[in-house]
Structure formats: structure tokens, C-alpha cells
């Protein structure tokens, strides 16, 4: 009985995700679904990225957490429009949750919407939110075996960042082993070491991201 019910939930989610995708397309907003383990540095990455974006690109953030508004408070302090979703016990964001959050954002004032998913390397990968660009933020202290152990989320990534790269030596991080795990499920995805602490790799990441954002259509065209 369990599996058919889950399938229905996923189908219902995908239906709302398609509606979200149409809405983002109409409003000219690019959706970034940021997924990671707890504490990999998703919020720091979003803040560091927003600070480096081309001036013409206006970011917004939806924060997903089981509880608390700690991350949303950090984003708001940086002057970025943000909505917090508290999922209660739920282990992932889904498309209907995102749709509810969108009622509190002015999409016409945004070009790029970061959605910080709940910290979890498993469940979020099953739930599309819209026409997602999926970014998985791995981090050095978690260890280099994670793609081997949690292949599902790495399979769906459009970009994989390896954060806290300034600690690669401290943790003897084996990027080759990490990369082999990714390549078993995702042959083409770019893998970029970055550090939100010292800025390493962030320019390359932001260039890649900006290349995926369509140029805005001038008013009246």
C-alpha cells in the first residue's frame, strides 16, 4: 500500500511544480534549488553568491527548515527579500509549499530565486519545485564518500559544489574518489571546489550561474 500512495504524492507534486515553472517563466525568474546535508553551508553559499551577482540581477530567497528562522534572519540582515518555510517534521520542501511561499514575494522584482531546501541528502531529490536548476552543496568535513552513499541526489544535480575547500588538507579530502562516485550516476555535471570562508572558486561558480539566467527582456519589447 505504501508505494502507490507515495507515487500519488509525487505525481501531485509534479503537477504543481509544472504550474510553478510556468509562473517563473512568465515572470522571468530563474529557480535555484539548493540541496545539501545539514550544515554544509547552504546559507553561507547563498549570501556569498548574492554578494557577487551582476548588479542587474535581483536575488530572492525561500528558506526551508524543519524549525527556526535562523537562516532567514541572516538573509534578511543582508537586505535580500526572503520567506521562511517551517516544515514541522517534514524532511523536504515540495512544490505546493513553494507555491504558498511565493504569495509573500514580489516575483516581478526578482531575477533569481534561491530555494534553500531542508538539510537532507535523500528526500529533497524526489520533489521538483518548478523548472529547477539543482545545486548540491557537499562539504569537505562530511567526507569524500558521500556520492557513493547517497547517489540519488548527486544524480539529479546540475552543479555540485564542494564547500569548505579551505579545509581540504585538514580532512585529507580525496576529490578523485568523490568525483568517481559522482560520475557513476552523473557523467557530465560540473564539480567545483569552493570556500565561502576565503572565496575560493566562487567567481567560477557565479559565472556558471549567471550563464544560466536568461537576459531580461527590456520593457516594451
* Binding positions for a second copy, rule: CB under 8 A: 1-2, 5, 8-9, 37-39, 65-68, 70-71, 89-91, 118-123, 126, 139, 141-143, 145-146, 148-152, 164, 167, 170
Identify which of residues 67 and 217 has a Cβ nearer to a second copy in the complex: 67
Question: Whole-angstrom Cα distance, residue 78 to residue 64?
Answer: 18
Of 27 and 197, CB closest to a second copy: 197
Nearest approach, Cβ of 146 to a second copy (angstroms)? 6
Residue 126 vs 179, nearer CB to a second copy? 126
> Cα–Cα distance between 199 and 160 in angstroms, integer?
16
Q: Looking up cell 579530502, which residue turns up?
A: 173
Q: Which of 76, 199, 48, 66 is nearest to 135 (CA)?
A: 48
Q: Is 16 helix (H, G, I), strand (E, B) or coil?
A: helix
Give dist(CA 81, CA 109) in Å, integer.
10
Task: Give the CA radius of gyration of the chain.
Answer: 17
Is 170 strand, coil or helix? Answer: coil
Q: Which is nearer to a second copy, 53 or 167 (by Cβ)?
A: 167
What is the closest distance, in whole angstroms, from the C-beta atom of residue 175 to a second copy in the complex? Answer: 15
Amino acid at each position: 500500500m505504501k508505494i502507490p500512495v507515495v507515487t500519488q504524492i509525487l505525481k501531485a507534486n509534479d503537477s504543481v511544480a509544472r504550474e510553478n515553472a510556468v509562473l517563473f517563466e512568465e515572470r522571468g525568474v530563474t529557480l535555484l534549488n539548493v540541496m545539501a546535508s545539514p550544515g554544509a553551508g547552504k546559507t553561507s553559499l547563498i549570501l556569498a553568491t548574492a554578494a557577487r551577482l551582476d548588479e542587474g540581477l535581483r536575488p530572492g530567497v525561500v528558506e526551508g527548515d524543519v524549525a527556526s528562522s535562523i537562516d532567514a534572519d541572516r538573509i534578511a540582515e543582508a537586505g535580500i527579500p526572503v520567506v521562511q518555510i517551517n516544515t514541522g517534521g517534514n524532511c523536504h520542501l515540495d512544490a505546493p509549499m513553494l507555491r504558498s511561499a511565493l504569495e509573500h514575494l514580489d516575483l516581478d522584482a526578482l531575477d533569481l530565486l534561491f530555494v534553500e531546501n531542508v538539510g537532507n541528502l535523500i528526500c529533497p531529490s524526489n520533489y521538483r519545485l518548478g523548472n529547477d536548476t539543482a545545486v548540491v552543496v557537499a562539504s569537505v568535513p562530511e567526507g569524500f564518500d558521500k556520492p557513493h552513499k547517497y547517489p540519488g541526489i548527486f544524480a539529479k544535480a546540475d552543479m555540485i559544489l564542494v564547500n569548505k575547500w579551505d579545509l581540504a588538507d585538514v580532512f585529507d579530502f580525496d576529490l578523485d574518489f568523490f568525483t568517481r562516485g559522482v560520475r557513476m550516476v552523473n557523467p557530465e555535471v560540473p564539480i567545483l571546489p569552493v570556500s565561502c570562508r576565503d572565496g575560493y572558486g566562487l567567481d567560477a561558480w557565479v559565472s556558471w550561474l549567471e550563464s544560466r539566467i536568461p537576459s531580461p527582456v527590456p520593457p516594451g519589447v
